[in-house]
Amino acid sequence: MSKFFLAFLSSLFVLVACTPPEILPADDVLGVDSAQMDPRVRPWAYKTVTLSTDLKALPESDQRMLPLFIQAAQIMDSIFWQQAWGAQDSLTVRHPDPDVRKFFAINYGPWDRLAGDKPFMDGIGPKPKGARFYPKDLTAEEFEAWGDSAKSSHYTMVRRDGAGKLIAVPYHTYFAAPTERAAQLLEQAAAIATDAGQRKYLLARATALRTDNYGASDVAWLDMKGDRVDIIIGPTETYEDKLYGYKAAHEAYVVVKDTAWSRKLDRFAKLLPSLQRGLPVPAAYKREKPGSDAQLGAYDVVYYAGDCNAGSKTIAVNLPNDEGIQLRKGTRRLQLKNAMRAKFDAILVPIADKLVTADQRKHITFDAFFQNVMFHEVAHGLGIKNTINGKGKVRDALREEAGALEEGKADILGLYMVEQLREKGEITEGEVMDNYVTFMAGVFRSVRFGASSAHGRANMLRFNYFMQAGAFQRDSVSGTYSVEPEKMHKAIADLSALILQLQGDGDLEKLRNLMQAQGVIGPDLQQDLDRLKKARIPVDVVFRQGMEVLSEAH
């Protein structure tokens, strides 16, 4: 690391925090009794991992951008606190137990995100399904009768005016001050950037934060080819809104590109059109053509903030979410290599040692884990984004269930892609059983995220489907699981068809019934998951991150 960069870092330590604050934002309407806590506080559930990467090869301009990116990311974090829990200037929580404070910070509030959002402090009621995006007293009848089209915007907070009437306040207005600070930081980074495409993206994203119009910046991000450090920033995913699934939550990732790995991976994205044509569904459900300009790259992430840092941590990213841009331009898939490796070593391997039958543990490999996660993200580009019967976009038609089904689609079509690419000779490392068995172990890892996570619910649905199909088999004596390859192959095709048709039909009632019946943990699985808890195997990771951590490594 250059002497310039070390000096630059030291001047920014006071601005860039590396760990959550001791005094955390709360909501003064919930009646917190900070002298007591629920016994379900589980600090052991998160393995602490240091996020770092090799910065030596980065030019000085990129090194100077990183602290600006992290400052902007921290602003997204402060906004997400307000969306998830409450305003930062409301009642603070001071608890004598540092484990409680840490668990509160990890969960962005007093609800355990990996245990179905159960409160872990006394005096706390259920988590509002709409988080803080909507008034606490909002009724379904009132919302449906409200005629403002902005109510379903991804970028508005629903509030009441002085007369008690509902109003939709744009994010850039509601969060005006922090949004402006973040936009200015992006503009400062743009002034440093040497790559024209990156400079265009950063300026466009600054404008997007100020206007809530993200399309142009999404396109600029896809057009950016020469980046070495990058920031994904703004309101992105709608998982936090479990009431209607409309509202996007603020988040940020700061990443450093692994150029060697990215060159290896990029060729797979070019195969999307042919894979789309081969999907095991009638033609109407695959008539859309995925963009062929999709990009697939490997990155080390050095900072998570906001929504992506809450509870379970994302290890791969597929953006943008705008369906029109996806069809026209494709997407960019980022494989977060250092975070992925940490989860494999600290969580997946110990789980496999407990729950995978001994003679199949040899099939648990990092290469297969990397492939499964990678093709999960690529598979988001397959299938259909618009219903085939005039119900509009799939995401809108399936409302609060859209996220879980989309994650389930990506999981199952990712395996379909692995099968197809192995048949075509595009993947030659290992064997398909590596992908199958590692995938099964990955289900045990993700199903522990609980019913409050879209990924967790998707895993429950798929696990139950595969068990009923005989693709997964449980030994009742040892409580371990194995994969039956022929039945697995058939179940992949059958479940792919079911999910794609649910999306194409926009059948919300059928999907709700399916999730109610299959998106649950049965008694045998719960007993086996309890063994993992007893063994204190972590459920997920939490990060030491930021400029101070990066400077320690260099």
Contacts of 539 (CB under 8 A, 6+ apart): 42, 45, 46, 114, 312, 347, 448, 449
What percentage of residues in the chain have a pLDDT greater than 90?
A: 55
Look at phi and psi of residue 285 and say left if phi exceeds 0, alpha if psi is from -120 to 50, else beta: alpha
Residue 489, pLDDT score: 96
- Structure confidence by residue, pLDDT tens digits, 441-494: 998 988 876 655 666 677 888 899 999 999 999 999 999 999 999 999 999 999
CA distance 502 to 387: 9
Residue 278, pLDDT score: 85
What percentage of residues in the chain have a pLDDT greater than 70?
A: 89
The answer to whether 190 touches 202, Cβ cutoff 8 Å, is: yes
ω into 320 cis (within 30 of 0): yes
CA distance 69 to 252: 9
CA distance 136 to 492: 41
Handedness of CA 356, 357, 360, 361 (dihedral sign): positive
Question: What one-letter code names the amino acid at 253?
Answer: Y
Dihedral, CA of residue 338, residue 342, residue 344 and residue 350, to nearest 10: 170
**H or E element, residue 318:** strand 316-319
Angle between helices 485-505 and 454-469 (to 10 degrees): 130
**H or E element, residue 305:** strand 295-306
Residue 400, pLDDT score: 81
Residue 86, pLDDT score: 79
The answer to whether 315 touches 277, Cβ cutoff 8 Å, is: no
CA distance 288 to 286: 6
- 191 vs 518, higher pLDDT: 191
Quick one: tokens of 238?
A: 């709608």
Question: What one-letter code names the amino acid at 422?
Answer: R
The length of the chain in residues reads 554
CA distance 469 to 225: 44
Distances (CA, A) of 104 to 30, 100, 241, 336: 15, 6, 19, 25
Distance of CA 104 to the CA centre of its chain: 19
Residue 502, pLDDT score: 92
Q: How many CB atoms lie within 10 A of CB 63?
A: 22
Handedness of CA 290, 293, 299, 303 (dihedral sign): negative
Quick one: tokens of 3?
A: 């002497």
Averaged pLDDT, 22-41: 42
Query: What's the helix, strand, coil split of the chain in %, to 5?
Result: 50, 15, 35
pLDDT at residue 31 greater than cutoff 70: no
Quick one: tokens of 364?
A: 């648990």
CA distance 333 to 407: 14
Residue 198, SS3 per DSSP: helix
- Structure confidence by residue, pLDDT tens digits, 110-121: 999 988 899 988
pLDDT at residue 38 greater than cutoff 90: no
The answer to whether 368 touches 432, Cβ cutoff 8 Å, is: no
The answer to whether 319 touches 232, Cβ cutoff 8 Å, is: yes
Q: How many CB atoms lie within 10 A of CB 438?
A: 27
CA distance 142 to 210: 30
DSSP 386: B
Distances (CA, A) of 517 to 58, 465, 514: 51, 11, 5
Going by pLDDT thresholds of 50, 70 and 90, the confidence category of residue 34 is very low
CA distance 549 to 305: 15
The answer to whether 186 touches 209, Cβ cutoff 8 Å, is: yes
Averaged pLDDT, 548-553: 77
pTM: 0.77
Quick one: tokens of 54?
A: 């090799």
Residue 328, pLDDT score: 86
Candidate ranges 30-39, 196-205, 387-396, 421-430; pick with highest mean pLDDT: 196-205
Averaged pLDDT, 17-38: 36
Residue 102, SS3 per DSSP: helix
Q: Which position has the token pair 């998951």?
A: 529
Residue 451, pLDDT score: 55
Averaged pLDDT, 89-101: 67
Residues 209-237 as b/e (b if ≥16 CB within 10 A, e otherwise) read: bebbebeebbbbbbebeebbbbbbbbbbb
Q: Which of 258, 194, 217, 181 is nearest to 65 (CA)?
A: 194
Give the mean pLDDT of the chain.
Answer: 86
Return the bridge partners of 230, or none.
Answer: 255
CA distance 131 to 108: 11
CA distance 384 to 282: 12
The answer to whether 225 touches 262, Cβ cutoff 8 Å, is: no
Residue 268, pLDDT score: 75
**Cα radius of gyration (the chain):** 23
- 508 vs 381, higher pLDDT: 508
- Structure confidence by residue, pLDDT tens digits, 490-545: 999 999 999 999 999 998 999 888 888 887 888 998 899 899 988 989 989 999 99
* Degrees, nearest 5: CA angle 460-337-414: 40
Residue 78, SS3 per DSSP: helix
